Structure 1
Amino acid sequence: MTIAEEHHVDAAAGGRRGGTRAAQRTRVLVRVGMLGAAAFALMFTEFNIPGFPVFLQYDPGDVPALIGGFAMGPLAGASVSLVKGVLFLLSGKDEAGWLGTAANLATSLSLVLTAALVYARVRTRKGAVLGLALGTLTMVGVMAVLNYYFFLPIWGVPAAALGETVRMTMLFNLVKGVLTSTLTFLVYKKVSPLLRA
């Protein structure tokens, strides 16, 4: 084989690899979009958890984001959360407007990124459980700080009521994390092959 022929073969192989990478990126983008749309739809299934005020509503919208994060990596999971948040904001269904969307996005990202980062390092059943547990605790902690210093004051919660309100939201986020983690754990193995195909 001549040098020119070798160069032609190498260029062709490089082109195939480049095409494969582009196709993979396209597949990931399509799946992120589909999971984001599913997460957006699930936000409309919100309901009140007994024992909590009616303004604290639970929805399983973070389940698709967690599935995406486990199957395709933390960045994909975060992208699903972002798509979900943008769609919900544009829909005009969030009565709290951009502030509610920002709070929902912060909640989602703190849970999804932590869980997906742990699972990326320990890709076992135990790694998934550990990731979901740490993700839930991270979400509770991050939102406690953000609620106390940012979201609740902007919403007009009196300073005297901040402590009690934050404690209530911490408990709610703990329950939310447990419910979302349980749903994710139950359905992930059934749908993950579709995301890797």
Structure 2
Amino acid sequence: MNKNTNKMVKISLLSAIALILMYFDFPIPFLPAWLKIDLSDVPALLGAFGFGPLAGVLIELIKNILIVLVKGTQTGLVGETANFIIGVALILPASFVYSRNKSKKGAILGMVLGAVCMEVVAIIANVYFLLPAYGMQMSSAESMKYVIMGLLPFNGIKSILVSVLTYALYKRVSVSIFKAEPNFGSPENKTKTI
């Protein structure tokens, strides 16, 4: 199997795992009921760390197309669009930083930057596009309350869960799946992967 075919097979596998993980979503008790966490961004972030930022975006796209084809949509594609936009907002900055500095420090810095970008993009996308597309009209005060009491904690919790799981898993699967050597615990001056 050539290198490109091998890469596409692994991206497809990560997309399928992400699709399965989308079925296991759960609400956070003190947040709005429609905000449900799933861990489908973990395979996308793993793929982005292993194969580069565009692979992560591709995994995000494929999983959202597949969930619509397999399960249908209950939100008129608004939920799937939100999942894609906000997932990419986490994955792109994280994997871009990591691709420039393949170390423990690069991975952590990238995931922190990704979490911040995820928060900002989620607020802008929800207030100006996603909520209106879903038919939810809110006053400025209601929007502010939703952002502070809903979006900020939700996306904070989700980004932490996804980042911690990715950090823990990447070290274990990097050699077998991505053919990269893990570098956690090694001196920072060596340029290897997490």
**What is the TM-score when the length of structure 1 is the normalising length?**
0.85
Tell me what 2:144 maps to: 163
Q: 2:120 aligns with which of 122, 133, 141?
A: 141
Letter in 2 for 1:170: L
Deviation at 1:157, TM superposition (A): 2.2
Deviation at 1:97, TM superposition (A): 3.2
CA RMSD of aligned residues (A): 1.4
The higher-RCO structure (CA 8 Å, 6+ apart) is 2
Tell me the equivalent position of 2:66: 87
Partner in structure 2 of residue 99 of structure 1: 78
Partner AA of 1:166 in structure 2: V
For 2:105 and 2:29, locate their aligned partners in 1 and report how far apart those are by CA, in whole Å.
31
Q: Could you tell which deviates more after superposition, 34-43 or 94-103?
A: 94-103
Give the counterpart letter for 2:106 in structure 1: G
Whole-angstrom distance in 2 between the partners of 1:184 and 1:97: 30
Distance in 1, matches of 2:77 and 2:133, equals 12
Q: Which has the higher helix share?
A: 1
Give the whole-Å Cα distance in 1 for the aligned partners of 2:147 and 2:173: 35
Q: How many Å separate the matches in 1 of 2:5 and 2:92?
A: 22
Letter in 2 for 1:187: L
- Aligned residue number for residue 161 of structure 2: 179
CA distance in 1, matches of 2:132, 2:76: 16
Shift of 1:92: 2.8
Alignment counterpart, residue 189 of structure 1, candidates 151, 171, 187: 171
Matched to 1:171, the amino acid is P
Q: Which aligned pairs between 1:1-197 and structure 2 lie closer than 5 A?
A: 23-160=2-139, 161-167=142-148, 168-197=150-179
How far, CA to CA, are the matches of 1:170 and 1:141 in structure 2?
Answer: 9
Identity percentage of aligned residues: 38
- The answer to whether the 8 A contact 1:152-1:162 is kept is no
| Deviation at residue 117 of structure 1 after TM alignment | 0.3
- 1:150 Cα shift? 0.6
Kept after mapping to 2: 8 A contact 1:35/1:65: yes
- In 2, Cα distance between equivalents of 1:186 and 1:49: 23
The count of corresponding residues between Structure 1 and Structure 2 is: 176
**Runs of 4+, deviation exceeding 4 Å:** none
Gaps of 5+ in 1: 1-21
Structure 2 counterpart SS, 1:95:
coil
Q: Name the aligned partner's letter for residue 188 of structure 1.
A: Y
Normalising by structure 2, what TM-score? Answer: 0.86
1:20-65 deviation digits (Å, cap 9, x = unpaired): xx92111111111000000000111111123212211111000000
On the 8 A contact 1:144/1:169 being kept in 2, the answer is yes
Question: Structure 2: 5+ residue runs without aligned partners?
Answer: 180-194
